[in-house]
């Protein structure tokens, strides 16, 4: 990960934020207009997005990237999409999105093991705040919670955290190309399973086609490119905390579009989640400023020594 200025970090954070906002919106879209088959949903989402990015990059995998693309495709796209699709069908959009708010801590753990990145105290605190917000938002709604949906959501966030860390470790290739390979590999790996388990692909009406177009282009192709770009330029802890915008978007859209009821507990949890995001960015700013501050102190120390010598000579005289 290259060193960047604080202003540059902010630009990358804003760009990275596109991804969780887009992902948070998929819960409402899936429940509202998309068919119920999760495996076909993953295939229809991944393959067109991968083909679009492959046309833009015009590069194919080489060497170890053949098996890396297959592994990352299952962790980050194909298997992950199927899990998230199933979760969206089993849980209200707000509940499904808030479970994924645990992802910052899981990403920090994966980054520590795979990348050797040690999370800062305030980043961990921000992640814990996200967990607290999850607890309030998850158990504060009026809808019943499906335990199978919760388990599937946890499996999805662990899978993606490991996949993101591995993608960052193997990131010395073009981002658009590597994202295309992952999407194509994930879609192709899930395709035979979709045929065996769910049969023929679902028939899409106009609303479902429009929904898949949005999910494919915005919430998949664009979102994954900016997300992986953020992982290359920012610490995993920072990117993970930005990912908390996923549940925020899911909850807000669930209330505005799907008519889901927000209780006082959920609103409190929402505020805690936003505080966790802000807390993590405060630590990033302090860390960016420390090197320049320390340099100023060292320069100042050099200037003080001659003055002290002059004063001593005056005292002797």
Contact in structure between 139 and 91 (CB atoms under 8 Å): no
Q: What is the dihedral of CA 144, 147, 151, 153, to 10 degrees?
A: -10
186: tokens are 């994930």
Q: Residues with Cβ < 8 Å from 88, sequence gap 6 or more?
A: 26, 27, 30, 31, 96
Residue 256 three-state SS: helix
Task: Give the residue carrying structure tokens 């193997």.
Answer: 170
Q: Give dist(CA 102, CA 131) in Å, integer.
A: 6
Residue 244 three-state SS: coil
Q: Give dist(CA 211, CA 107) in Å, integer.
A: 29
Global pTM value: 0.76
The tens place of each residue's pLDDT in the chain, 317 residues long, gives 555 666 677 888 889 999 989 988 887 888 788 888 888 988 998 999 999 999 999 899 988 999 999 999 999 988 888 887 788 778 776 676 667 777 888 888 888 888 888 888 888 888 888 778 867 765 555 556 788 888 898 899 899 999 999 988 887 789 999 999 999 999 999 999 899 989 999 988 999 999 999 999 999 999 999 999 998 888 888 888 888 888 788 778 877 776 667 777 778 888 888 888 887 766 444 444 444 444 444 444 444 444 444 444 444 44
Task: Give the residue carrying structure tokens 């495709």.
Answer: 73
Q: Give the pLDDT score at 304.
A: 42
- DSSP secondary structure letters along 174-235: -HHHHHHHHHHHHHHHHHHHHHHHH-SPPP--HHHHHHHHHHHIIIIIIHHHHHHHHHHHS-
Q: Give the pLDDT score at 106.
A: 86
Q: Give the pLDDT score at 227.
A: 92
Instruction: Region of 117 please: left (phi>0), alpha (psi -120 to 50) or beta.
Output: beta
Q: What is the dihedral of CA 249, 252, 255, 257, to 10 degrees?
A: -60
């Amino acid at each position: 990960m290259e060193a960047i200025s604080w202003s540059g970090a902010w630009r990358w954070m804003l760009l990275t934020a596109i991804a969780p906002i887009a992902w948070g919106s998929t819960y409402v879209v899936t429940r509202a207009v998309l068919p119920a088959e999760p495996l076909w949903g993953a295939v229809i989402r991944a393959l067109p997005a991968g083909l679009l990015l492959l046309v833009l990059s015009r590069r194919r995998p080489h060497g170890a990237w053949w098996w890396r693309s297959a592994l990352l495709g299952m962790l980050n796209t194909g298997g992950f999409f199927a899990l998230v699709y199933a979760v969206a069908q089993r849980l209200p959009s707000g509940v499904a999105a808030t479970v994924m708010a645990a992802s910052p801590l899981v990403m920090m753990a994966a980054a520590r093991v795979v990348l050797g990145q040690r999370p800062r105290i305030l980043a961990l605190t921000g992640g814990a705040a996200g967990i607290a917000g999850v607890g309030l938002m998850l158990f504060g709604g009026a809808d019943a919670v499906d335990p199978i949906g919760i388990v599937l959501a946890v499996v999805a966030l662990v899978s993606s955290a490991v996949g993101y860390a591995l993608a960052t470790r193997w990131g010395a290739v073009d981002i658009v190309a590597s994202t295309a390979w992952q999407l194509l590999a994930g879609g192709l790996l899930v395709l035979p399973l979709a045929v065996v388990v769910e049969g023929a692909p679902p028939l899409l009406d106009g609303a479902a086609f429009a929904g898949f177009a949005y999910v494919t282009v915005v919430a998949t192709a664009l979102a994954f490119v900016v997300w992986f770009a953020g992982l290359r330029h920012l610490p995993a802890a920072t990117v993970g905390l930005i990912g908390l915008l996923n549940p925020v978007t899911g909850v807000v859209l669930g209330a505005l579009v799907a008519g889901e009821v927000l209780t006082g507990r959920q609103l409190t949890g929402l505020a805690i989640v936003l505080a966790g995001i802000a807390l993590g960015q405060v630590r990033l700013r302090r860390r960016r400023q420390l090197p320049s501050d320390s340099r100023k102190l060292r320069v100042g120390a050099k200037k003080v020594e001659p003055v002290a010598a002059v004063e001593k000579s005056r005292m002797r005289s």
